[in-house]
Amino acid sequence: MMTFPKDGTPMSVTTTMEVPPDLRLAGRLNLRATVRGTAPSWQESEVRYTSRTLLQTYTTSERDWAEHLQVHRAMRDLLRIAIWKPVAFLGHEVTSDKEKTAIKSDTEPQSRWCEVKTAATGMGPAVWGKSERPLFVFADIKSAGVRKWLKFGEENRRGLRPFLRLLDIREGTIDEHMAQLGIALEAFGYQAFIDSGTSAVRADKKTLEQRVRKIVQQVASCLPATPVTFAKDLADGYNAVKHANRPEPDPADLVANYRLGVKVVRAWIALNLGAAEAVITERLS
């Protein structure tokens, strides 16, 4: 609201900002996204409203700190898959219903959030910029996709760990990256066979080439230009890096297969979370 005085005194301006309601993401520990807004001081010359979206877990009974962190780590890793950057926590806060305080005597008691200082979760600076082009956003996978992700992470832990580790060794050699990617694809391919109905015994006997091909088949519509020899080429490159008695691979071929391998895995994960094939194809192009 703007008021224009007629006596020459400074103009007064009243502004308001509405914070959107919490967005429920999953039932586990009542996971939700909540928005906090901040208003400028009346002493500041520039009027700028800001808001931050935070991930929140909440339970009516006491739960171990590690249980909450497990869910928050999973969401951090989901963002890493989406933008393929080493997203880190910016901070942590905790509250308890036993420690609510009344801001004013005539108001309902409010939760008191306290900052937690810890080195156990790997906090770091923000890496998300306006120019980011994520493979998928919440609108693409919705709450159902978040629930699928939490389950996916539990079933594919042995593949996710080495795959996400690639973001931590960005300065490493191509041999390191290919070795790490191969380990991830071994696990992802095994799980892909299990999910399609193959017995654990038969899935365990599949070669890396067969496991990679299984995943490639599932994302074929998203990455139509994938060479027909890709599964063999990647497996050969991985084995050449792993075994000293194999001919030394061409670094350029390793780089090309590594980059395509990362695309294949990210597309496969996005499909598993419910993102549309057309969306994945467009954003990977």
Give the number of other Cβ atoms within 10 Å of residue 13's Cβ. 9
First-to-last alpha carbon distance for the chain, in angstroms, is 46
Within a domain: 106: no
**DSSP type of residue 209:** H
Q: Which pLDDT belongs to residue 191?
A: 97
Note the pTM of the prediction, 2 decimals.
Answer: 0.86
Q: Tell me the H-state helices in the chain.
A: 65-83, 138-155, 157-165, 174-195, 200-204, 208-218, 230-242, 251-272, 277-284
Q: Which pLDDT belongs to residue 43?
A: 66
Q: Which pLDDT belongs to residue 44?
A: 65
Phi, psi of 6 (to 5 degrees): -100, -5
- If one counts the domains in the chain, the total is 1
Query: Is 22 exposed, middle or buried, given 0-12, 13-18 or 19+ CB atoms closer than 10 A?
Result: middle
Within a domain: 179: yes
What are the C-alpha distances in Å from 160 to residues 76, 81, 181, 272?
Answer: 13, 10, 10, 14
Within a domain: 187: yes
- Residue 16: helix, strand or coil by DSSP? coil
Within a domain: 176: yes
Domain that holds residue 274: 135-285
pLDDT digit string (tens) for the chain, length 285 residues:
555 566 666 566 666 777 788 889 999 999 999 888 776 666 666 667 777 788 999 988 888 888 999 999 999 999 999 999 999 888 888 888 776 665 555 666 667 788 888 777 788 877 777 677 899 999 999 999 999 999 999 999 999 999 999 999 988 899 999 999 999 999 999 999 999 999 999 999 999 999 999 999 999 999 999 999 999 999 999 999 998 888 888 999 999 999 999 999 999 999 999 999 999 999 998
d(CA 274, CA 189): 19
CB contact at 8 A, 53 and 19: no
Q: Which pLDDT belongs to residue 22?
A: 87
Q: Which pLDDT belongs to residue 112?
A: 78
3-state DSSP of 25-94? CCCHHHCEEEEEEECCCCCCCCCCCEEEEEEECCCCCCCCHHHHHHHHHHHHHHHHHHHCCCCCECCEEE
Within 13 Å of residue 9, how many CA atoms lie on the same side as its CB?
6
Within 13 Å of residue 275, how many CA atoms lie on the same side as its CB?
29
Within a domain: 144: yes
Q: Are strands 23-24 and 32-38 parallel, antiparallel or unpaired?
A: antiparallel
d(CA 144, CA 90): 26
Residue 51, token pair as written in the block: 């808001």
Which of 218, 77, 61, 216 minimizes the C-alpha distance to 150?
Answer: 77
CB contact at 8 A, 228 and 180: no
Which of 168, 156, 153 minimizes the C-alpha distance to 70?
Answer: 153
d(CA 197, CA 174): 34
Within a domain: 127: no
Within a domain: 159: yes
Instruction: State the helix-helix crossing angle for 230-242 and 251-272, rounded to 10 degrees.
Output: 120
What are the C-alpha distances in Å from 197 to residues 120, 151, 269?
Answer: 39, 18, 18
Within a domain: 130: no
